[in-house]
Amino acid sequence: AFSHPPYFLLVGIPGLEKEQFWIAFPFCIMYAIAVLGNITLLLIIKGEPSLHEPMYLFLAMLALTDLVLSTSMLPKMLGIFWLGSREIGFLSCLAQLFFIHTFSSVESGVLMAMALDRYIAICCPLRHSSILSVPVVVALGSLVLVRGVLLVSPFCFLLRRMPFCQHHVISHSYCEHMAVVKLACGDTRFSVIYGLFVAFIVTGSDMILISVSYTMILRVVMRLSSTEARLKAFSTCASHVCVILAFYVPALFTFLTHRFGHSIPSHLHIMVANLYLLVPPMLNPIVYGVRT
Q: Where are the beta strands (DSSP E) in the chain?
A: 7-10, 87-89, 169-170
Residue 179 has pLDDT above 70, yes or no: yes
204 DSSP 8-state letter: I
Cβ-contact 91, 175 below 8 angstroms:
no
C-alpha 128 chain-centroid distance:
27
Q: pLDDT tens-digit profile of 61-84?
A: 999 999 999 999 999 999 999 998
Instruction: Report, as an integer, the average pLDDT of 122-133.
Output: 87
How far apart, in whole angstroms, are the C-alpha atoms of residue 93 and residue 97? 6
pTM here? Answer: 0.92
Cβ proximity of 285 and 246 under 8 Å = no
What is the mean predicted confidence (pLDDT) over 264-280? 88
Mean pLDDT of 132-159: 95
Q: Which domains does the chain have, with CATH numbers?
A: 7-290 (1.20.1070.10)
pLDDT at 172: 92
pLDDT at 1: 46
User: Residue 130, Cβ neighbours under 10 Å: how many?
Assistant: 10
* Cα dihedral across residues 161, 167, 172, 174: positive or negative: positive
Mean pLDDT confidence for 46-50: 89
pLDDT at 198 over 90: yes
The stretch 95-100 carries a mean pLDDT of 97
CB 285 within 8 A of CB 38: yes
What is the Cα–Cα distance from 240 to 61, expressed in whole angstroms?
16
Q: Of the segments 116-120, 142-146, 221-225, which one has the largest average pLDDT value?
A: 142-146
